[in-house]
Amino acid sequence: MSTRNAIATAIAAGTTVLVAVAAVPASAGTATVSAAATRARAIGSCSASGDHAACALTVQANRPALMHAYITAAPKQVIKGQYTFQCSKAGHGAGETGTFDSKGPLKITLRPGFADPASCSISLQGHLPGSGKLQVSVTVTDKR
């Protein structure tokens, strides 16, 4: 299993994952890369099954660098829904709303609208027009 798949599996299971990126010396013929270690973790999930399965989730994270929403259906089919993402810091706010109507699995990447937000929240709702199982989850990547 690749490192990327192992991390994704661990996150889906709700496990905290530490990821560190090492710098490569410029003498190796490549540019130097450096990045702070980050921590990705699951912060909420819900599921539903049956005809027209629907699931709604609202979560909040303090000081997030990045958030991801994952929406899957079994069997694979169109998933419909919407989300609202909001961040705040010292009286300032930023956010976005969106809808989706697409065959799953879906991954929505949500970035704060400014550096170092105090908190961010996401409200996410999905439903299946047919019959099946719907899974909705959210992960957050914190700055270390």
pLDDT, tens digit, 9 for 90 and up, residues 76-129:
999 999 999 999 998 889 999 999 999 989 999 999 988 889 999 999 999 999
134 three-class SS? strand
Residue 12 domain flag: no
Q: Which two tokens stand for residue 52?
A: 């027209």
The gap between the terminal CA atoms of the chain, to the nearest Å, is 26
Mean of the pLDDT values across residues 22-38?
39
The pTM for the full model equals 0.71
Domain of 70, in residue numbers: 41-143
pLDDT, residue 115, reads 87
What's the CA gap between 58 and 14, in Å, rounded? 16
Residue 117 domain flag: yes
Residue 24: pLDDT band with limits 50, 70, 90: very low
Q: Is the pLDDT of residue 2 over 50?
A: no
Residue 28 domain flag: no
Mean of the pLDDT values across residues 48-67?
95
Residue 82 domain flag: yes
Q: Is the pLDDT of residue 71 over 50?
A: yes
CATH number at residue 111: 2.60.120
Residue 133: pLDDT band with limits 50, 70, 90: very high
| Number of domains comprising the chain | 1
pLDDT, residue 38, reads 64
87: exposed, middle or buried (C-beta count within 10 Å: 0-12, 13-18, 19+)? Answer: buried
- Do 141 and 65 form a contact (C-beta atoms < 8 A)? yes
CA-to-CA separations, 35 to 24, 64, 108, 118, in angstroms, rounded: 11, 16, 23, 21
101 or 5, which is more confident: 101
